[in-house]
A and B are shown apart, each in its own frame.
Chain A
Amino acid sequence: MSVMFILLPVALLFSAAALAVFVWAARAGQFDDLETPGLRILHEEDTSLPPPPAPRPSRHGWPGAS
């Protein structure tokens, strides 16, 4: 059972990593608008028209936050 002394810290490390990702996502504004991206995905592009310039997402999502 003494493997617990290793397992528990390892499990906590995994949690910490997941938490770090969540905090990063929250700070980058990934959760600011939960409605529009879900609609956007429905609009698959027409191939007959030239594709729009590739959007370059800024690191901080909405620039207002940076």
Chain B
Amino acid sequence: MNRVDERVEAGISAPAACAHCGLPVPAGLIDAGAPRQFCCEGCRAVYAVIHEHGLERYYALRATPAPAPARPSERRFAELDDPGFAMRACRRAPDGLLTTELYLEGVHCSACVWLVERLPRLLPGVAEARLDLPRAQVLVRWDPAVVSLSAVARQLGALGYAPHPARGAAAQAVRRREDRAMLARIGLAGAVAGNVMAIAFALYGGMFDGMEPEFAAFFRWASLAIALPSVVWGGGVFFRGAWTALRARALGMDLPISLGLLAGFLHGAVNTVRGTGEVYFDSVTALIFLLLCGRFLLRRQQRAAGDAAELAASLHPSSARLIEDGRAREVPLEALVPGLVVEVRAGDVVPADGVIVAGRSSVDVSLLWGEPLPQAVAPGDRVHAGTLNVASRLEVRVESTGEDTRVGRLMKLVEEHARRRAPIAALADRISGPFVAAVLVLAAATFLLWSRVDPARALDHAVALLIVTCPCALGLATPLALSAAIGQAARAGFLIKGGDVVESLTRPGRMWLDKTGTLTAGRAMLVRWSGDESVKPLVAAAEAHSSHPLARAFLGALGEPAGGPVQILETHGGGIEAEVGERRVVVGSPDFVASRAKTAPPDLAREVDALTGDGLTPVLAAVDGTVVAAAGFGDPLREDAQAALDRVRELGWRPGILSGDHPLVVAAVGRRLGLLPAESRGGVAPEDKLRAVTGAEGPVVMVGDGVNDAAALAAATVGIAVHGGAEAALAAADVFVTRPGVARIAELLDGSRRAMRVVRRNLAFSLAYNVAGVALAMSGVLNPLVAAILMPLSSLTVIASSYRARTFRPRTGEAAPCR
């Protein structure tokens, strides 16, 4: 097996770099005579477009090579010219220009910004293209009289940035407005806090050196006047939150915050009017500013993760190719009805459930049902929407569409479970109840104690306690730590949709892993080769002429094909028979080869049985009538799977496999990973996955990538979608892991633990400050100056502790992942 891996490595690491994407060019594609090498047709096409328009500066601007080869889109995007789409998604300016936003796949750096924004030069009629890089959205303004939106989309597609109409534009506009309003609010709170603090400095100076009463009164009235808008407009966020929570008979962090803010402000206002006593306006306004900042940061981080998932969700095909009068044209997906015949080209996703009427191909169903090997299909076979046609063109008669397809029914299950899940009370919210109770009891105690000692000062001291315990740092402790962690996580390749997810990941329970694509690579590979090494070039030469998926797996693993003329004698679903030079080569299933070979050594026959027993697909090769080699194909475990699973166990989780693949294969994988037979379940239908998740006791984490996992992902305590998965899985999951490999899951758990450790440390810090404040207030030595020093100090401690912490940050020496 090791030998095969080395060969695979050797096949990939060729010296030449692709002229477009900079990735190594596979040995078979190197054209020695050409001035430039390309790793794939996609890169070649995009390079040609860029070259043709004189935009080579793109390559000079690009600091790092592209993270992936270009995939220019050849779709026609006719559905974008539909008047309905224009109504829904485009805005018309008074000068007749239309504006819309498109999501772009594959934009990743500054050079992409440059290239995309050169669109007006490439395409007359486009007035402006502005790319928003973090959101991967381009805003296009164009003249519909000169150019159509489909032409714009085709041009973007030709540059390698496949465009997709941005979904949920209305919801996005609402959120953008909310964000802007929040920012304006923070600006106000900040300006107020700064000015009140400046005035407070004068008052503190007066505390030591004395101040004429008319100035003191003027400064207090001025502070009151400035603080009022901040408390009403900025603090209103917390008052509303506390009120909503109270009406729902719940407690949250908003309640103690509101209590402290109101006590501080009203006390100050009364003292200002009375002209005697302390005012705490500087502490109150600084508090509002800091708390608003914390909220804003957390929301922004969570939203960024949500946006990325939404982007991925909008990448599914929204058109189909309808065959009418022998010609195919693109139509919106909604236009499909049962009985129509659609064309599915190689590389396309099947748009609807149906029966094949013409063409032979293989269909990749791994995202849907978890079987890694593509299935051969022929006329009369059924194909399902969402599966990928890998080999050649098919014509499919539509039987059901949209929500009536197998995928559509699954997605309905997903929606139901996403709605049903109860939110998890965050750690900070859980401690807020006892916190409020303790503060009120302490304030009452202070009042009672001091009313015996000095009745005139009793109320002052009680209010001072309420103010100084206002959980500023406590309110910041969780959001700051989590937003810093989520931000680091995003840079490390984990998109986390909420702070509560991080917390849930630290409470171990059951972890169900999908096999295909999660524990394994998700595609067929040559795992075992037994027999003569010298025939490999012959086999490779024969297989080079087959489009069967196993043939392609062969090619990557066998190295250079033998030279000389190759003549295909017979090719068939079961195998291929060819003449390579002088030799006659037969490669295929054991039955296919047995019927064409005269002699077969018995050890190779035993090997076929052994391969089948190990859950591998056996393939035999015969040369000149003698069986010479047996090869086993399978979907091998990722190298890091064992280590990652050990770490997951160490952290207290109980891992198990839920897979749609054959039970024998799953059992073999489970045995290798040291799982109990009951914990490696194969042949599991999507509904059964859902049942396994909902039926389990305690927290359940589901890790998967396919549509068949989506319902279980939505129902689990935390659903984790892994790299390369189906859009449905991304939308349903709470965490999206953008880099491949199951080791990422262990990293995610470790990072979450570190993040929660920071949260707890922050809470401990801020509680310690509160205890100190309570002690000062109860002993009657607290004054506004002490409060003004103590409270920001506690907040600064928490801020520093949050942003200094290393939670998800990749360790030094590890390359930073490309965005």
Using a CB–CB distance below 8 Å, which chain A residues touch chain B? Answer: 1, 4-5, 8, 11-12, 15-16, 18-19, 22-23, 26-27, 29, 31-33, 35-36, 39-40, 42-43, 46, 49-50, 52-53, 55, 58, 62-65
Smallest distance from the beta carbon of A65 to chain B beta carbons, Å? 6
The residue of chain A having its C-beta at the shortest distance from the C-beta of B127 within the complex is: A53
In chain B, positions 108-142 with a C-beta closer than 8 Å to chain A are 110, 113-114, 117-118, 120-121, 127-128, 130-135, 139
* Contacts A43-B114, A49-B54, A64-B169 given; does A33 touch B134 at CB 8 Å: yes
Smallest distance from the beta carbon of A30 to chain B beta carbons, Å? 9
Report yes or no: B222 in contact with A8, Cβ–Cβ below 8 A: yes
Mostly helix, strand, loop or mixed at chain B's interface?
helix
CB of B405 closer than 8 Å to a CB of A: no
CB of B201 closer than 8 Å to a CB of A: no
CB of B226 closer than 8 Å to a CB of A: yes
The residue of chain B having its C-beta at the shortest distance from the C-beta of A49 within the complex is: B121
Residues in A neighbouring B734, C-beta threshold 8 A: none
In chain B, positions 140-185 with a C-beta closer than 8 Å to chain A are 169, 172-173, 176-177, 179-181, 183-184
Partner of B191, one of A1, A15, A26, A65: A15
Bound CA–CA A5/B221 (angstroms):
12
Smallest distance from the beta carbon of B173 to chain A beta carbons, Å? 4
Bound CA–CA A40/B112 (angstroms):
10
Report yes or no: B188 in contact with A19, Cβ–Cβ below 8 A: yes
Smallest distance from the beta carbon of A37 to chain B beta carbons, Å? 9
Interchain Cβ contacts under 8 Å between A and B, 8 examples = A23-B184, A27-B184, A32-B176, A39-B110, A53-B127, A53-B128, A63-B99, A65-B180
Report yes or no: A12 in contact with B128, Cβ–Cβ below 8 A: no
Smallest distance from the beta carbon of A1 to chain B beta carbons, Å? 7
Across chains A and B, which 4 residue pairs bring their CB atoms closest together, nearest first?
Answer: A39-B110, A26-B183, A64-B173, A22-B187
The residue of chain A having its C-beta at the shortest distance from the C-beta of B173 within the complex is: A64
Report yes or no: B133 in contact with A39, Cβ–Cβ below 8 A: yes
Residues in B neighbouring A19, C-beta threshold 8 A: 187-188, 191
Residues in A neighbouring B183, C-beta threshold 8 A: 26, 31
Given A33-B132, A43-B117, 5 more A-B residue pairs with CB atoms under 8 Å apart are: A8-B219, A12-B195, A15-B195, A53-B128, A63-B93
Interface string of B176-206 (1 = CB under 8 A from A): 1101110110011001001100010000000
Partner of B187, one of A4, A8, A23, A65: A23
Partner of B110, one of A4, A27, A42: A42
Partner of B133, one of A22, A33, A42: A33
Report yes or no: B113 in contact with A40, Cβ–Cβ below 8 A: yes
Report yes or no: B188 in contact with A35, Cβ–Cβ below 8 A: no
* Contacts A33-B133, A52-B120, A53-B120 given; does A65 touch B177 at CB 8 Å: yes
Bound CA–CA A52/B132 (angstroms):
18
Partner of A26, one of B101, B172, B184, B212: B184
**Best-buried of B139, B173, B184, B219 by chain A (most CB within 10 Å):** B184
Mostly helix, strand, loop or mixed at chain A's interface?
helix
Report yes or no: B191 in contact with A18, Cβ–Cβ below 8 A: yes
Report yes or no: A27 in contact with B131, Cβ–Cβ below 8 A: no
Bound CA–CA A23/B232 (angstroms):
17
Report yes or no: B134 in contact with A36, Cβ–Cβ below 8 A: yes
* Contacts A19-B187, A55-B128 given; does A46 touch B57 at CB 8 Å: yes
CB of B85 closer than 8 Å to a CB of A: no
Bound CA–CA A1/B127 (angstroms):
60
Using a CB–CB distance below 8 Å, which chain B residues touch chain A? Answer: 54, 57, 61, 91, 93, 99, 101, 110, 113-114, 117-118, 120-121, 127-128, 130-135, 139, 169, 172-173, 176-177, 179-181, 183-184, 187-188, 191, 194-195, 199, 212, 215, 218-219, 222, 226
* Contacts A23-B184, A33-B135, A36-B133 given; does A4 touch B172 at CB 8 Å: no
Smallest distance from the beta carbon of A42 to chain B beta carbons, Å? 6
Bound CA–CA A27/B130 (angstroms):
19
The residue of chain A having its C-beta at the shortest distance from the C-beta of B109 within the complex is: A39
Residues in B neighbouring A36, C-beta threshold 8 A: 113, 130-134
Report yes or no: B191 in contact with A29, Cβ–Cβ below 8 A: no
Bound CA–CA A29/B756 (angstroms):
34
Smallest distance from the beta carbon of B285 to chain A beta carbons, Å? 13
Report yes or no: B176 in contact with A64, Cβ–Cβ below 8 A: yes
Report yes or no: B218 in contact with A5, Cβ–Cβ below 8 A: yes
Residues in A neighbouring B93, C-beta threshold 8 A: 58, 63
Bound CA–CA A11/B194 (angstroms):
12
Report yes or no: B130 in contact with A55, Cβ–Cβ below 8 A: yes
Residues in A neighbouring B133, C-beta threshold 8 A: 33, 35-36, 39
Smallest distance from the beta carbon of B624 to chain A beta carbons, Å? 62
Report yes or no: B180 in contact with A52, Cβ–Cβ below 8 A: no
Partner of B117, one of A35, A40, A65: A40
Smallest distance from the beta carbon of B188 to chain A beta carbons, Å? 6
Residues in B neighbouring A16, C-beta threshold 8 A: 191
Residues in B neighbouring A53, C-beta threshold 8 A: 120, 127-128
Bound CA–CA A18/B54 (angstroms):
45
Residues in B neighbouring A22, C-beta threshold 8 A: 184, 187, 191
Residues in A neighbouring B194, C-beta threshold 8 A: 15
Report yes or no: A12 in contact with B110, Cβ–Cβ below 8 A: no
Residues in B neighbouring A11, C-beta threshold 8 A: 195
Bound CA–CA A35/B226 (angstroms):
34
Report yes or no: A12 in contact with B226, Cβ–Cβ below 8 A: yes
Residues in B neighbouring A27, C-beta threshold 8 A: 180-181, 184
Report yes or no: B134 in contact with A64, Cβ–Cβ below 8 A: no
Bound CA–CA A51/B132 (angstroms):
21
Smallest distance from the beta carbon of B477 to chain A beta carbons, Å? 26
Report yes or no: A4 in contact with B215, Cβ–Cβ below 8 A: yes
Smallest distance from the beta carbon of A53 to chain B beta carbons, Å? 5
Residues in B neighbouring A52, C-beta threshold 8 A: 117-118, 120-121, 128
Smallest distance from the beta carbon of B225 to chain A beta carbons, Å? 9
Report yes or no: B131 in contact with A29, Cβ–Cβ below 8 A: no
Report yes or no: A4 in contact with B218, Cβ–Cβ below 8 A: yes
Residues in B neighbouring A8, C-beta threshold 8 A: 199, 218-219, 222
Bound CA–CA A27/B222 (angstroms):
28
Residues in A neighbouring B172, C-beta threshold 8 A: 64
Report yes or no: B180 in contact with A29, Cβ–Cβ below 8 A: yes
Bound CA–CA A56/B452 (angstroms):
72
Residues in A neighbouring B128, C-beta threshold 8 A: 52-53, 55
Residues in B neighbouring A43, C-beta threshold 8 A: 61, 110, 113-114, 117
Bound CA–CA A59/B562 (angstroms):
67
The residue of chain B having its C-beta at the shortest distance from the C-beta of A5 within the complex is: B218
**Best-buried of B57, B120, B180 by chain A (most CB within 10 Å):** B180
Smallest distance from the beta carbon of B494 to chain A beta carbons, Å? 20
Report yes or no: B176 in contact with A29, Cβ–Cβ below 8 A: yes
Smallest distance from the beta carbon of B172 to chain A beta carbons, Å? 7
Report yes or no: A63 in contact with B110, Cβ–Cβ below 8 A: no
Bound CA–CA A18/B188 (angstroms):
10
Smallest distance from the beta carbon of B418 to chain A beta carbons, Å? 26
Bound CA–CA A55/B120 (angstroms):
11
Residues in A neighbouring B54, C-beta threshold 8 A: 49
The residue of chain B having its C-beta at the shortest distance from the C-beta of A29 within the complex is: B180
Bound CA–CA A32/B227 (angstroms):
28
Bound CA–CA A53/B121 (angstroms):
9
Residues in A neighbouring B212, C-beta threshold 8 A: 1
The residue of chain B having its C-beta at the shortest distance from the C-beta of A22 within the complex is: B187
The residue of chain B having its C-beta at the shortest distance from the C-beta of A33 within the complex is: B132
Bound CA–CA A8/B135 (angstroms):
44
Residues in B neighbouring A62, C-beta threshold 8 A: 139, 176
Residues in B neighbouring A26, C-beta threshold 8 A: 180, 183-184, 187
Residues in A neighbouring B118, C-beta threshold 8 A: 52
Bound CA–CA A40/B268 (angstroms):
49
Smallest distance from the beta carbon of B5 to chain A beta carbons, Å? 40
Residues in A neighbouring B195, C-beta threshold 8 A: 11-12, 15
Residues in A neighbouring B120, C-beta threshold 8 A: 52-53
Bound CA–CA A23/B130 (angstroms):
24
Bound CA–CA A33/B307 (angstroms):
14
